[in-house]
Amino acid sequence: MVKKVRLAVFASGTGTNFQALNDAIIQRNLNAEIVRLVVDHSKAGVLNLAKVFGVPATTIIYSRYLDKTAAEQAIIAQLESDRVDGILLAGYMRILTPLLINRYLGKIINLHPAMLPSFPGRHSILDAFEAGVNKTGVTVHFVDNGIDTGEIIAQEAVPIKKDDTLEQLETRIHHVEHVLYPNTLEKLLKEGVFLK
Q: How far is the C-alpha of 49 from the C-alpha of 55, rounded, in Å?
A: 8
- Tell whether 93 is in a known binding site: yes
Catalytic residue among 112, 141, 175, 178: 112
Helix (H, G, I), strand (E, B) or coil at 12: coil
Residue 17, annotated as binding a ligand: yes
Is residue 115 part of an annotated ligand binding site? no
Q: How far apart are CA 134 and CA 128, in angstroms?
A: 9
What is the distance of C-alpha 100 from the center of its chain? 15
Q: Any residues with CB less than 8 A from the CB of 10 and at least 6 apart, and which?
A: 37, 38, 39, 87, 88, 89, 90, 92, 94
**Separation of alpha carbons 83 and 79, rounded Å:** 6
123 is catalytic: no
Please indicate if the annotation marks 103 as binding a ligand. no
15 marked among binding-site residues: yes
28 is in an annotated binding site: no
Please give the Cα distance from 29 to 151 (Å, whole number): 27
What gap in Å lies between CA 151 and CA 184, rounded to an integer? 14
Rounded to an integer, what distance in angstroms lies between the CA atom of residue 137 and that of residue 139? 7
31 marked ligand binding residue: no
Known binding positions for (6R)-10-formyltetrahydrofolate: 64, 93-96, 110
Active-site residues: which are they?
112
Known binding positions: 15-17, 64, 93-96, 110
